[in-house]
Amino acid sequence: MVGRTLDPFFNALMATPRVAFIPLIIVLLGLGFWAKITVVALGAVMPILINTYAGVRNGDAELVEMARSAGARPGQVFSKILLPGAAPFIMVGLRLGATIGLINTVVAELYTAVQGLGGLLAIYGNTFRMAPYFVVVLILACLGIAVAELLRLVERRLDRWRIGTGG
Judge contact between 96 and 51, C-beta under 8 A: yes
Instruction: Please give the share of the chain, as a percent, with pLDDT higher than 90.
Output: 20
Per-residue model confidence (pLDDT) at position 165: 47
Domains by residue range for the chain, with CATH:
2-161 (1.10.3720.10)
Per-residue model confidence (pLDDT) at position 162: 58
Buried b (16+ CB within 10 A) or exposed e, 43-72: bbebbbbbbbbebbeebeeeebeebeeeeb
Judge contact between 81 and 73, C-beta under 8 A: no
Please state the rounded mean pLDDT for residues 59-84: 89
Please state the rounded mean pLDDT for residues 2-15: 79
Please state the rounded mean pLDDT for residues 38-52: 88
3-class SS letters over the chain: CHHHHHHHHHHHHHHCCHHHHHHHHHHHHCCCHHHHHHHHHHHHHHHHHHHHHHHHHCCCHHHHHHHHHCCCCHHHHHHHHHHHHHHHHHHHHHHHHHHHHHHHHHHHHHHHCCCHHHHHHHHHHHCCCHHHHHHHHHHHHHHHHHHHHHHHHHHHHHHHHCCCCCC
Kindly calculate the radius of gyration of the chain based on its CA atoms and give it in whole angstroms: 20
| Reported pTM | 0.74
pLDDT band at 114 (very low <50, low <70, confident <90, very high): low
Amino acid identity of residue 61, one-letter, is A
Instruction: Please give the share of the chain, as a percent, with pLDDT higher than 70.
Output: 92
pLDDT band at 31 (very low <50, low <70, confident <90, very high): confident
Using left for φ > 0, alpha for ψ between -120 and 50, and beta otherwise, residue 93 falls in alpha
Please state the rounded mean pLDDT for residues 57-75: 90
Least confident of 38-42, 133-137, 155-159: 155-159
Per-residue model confidence (pLDDT) at position 136: 92
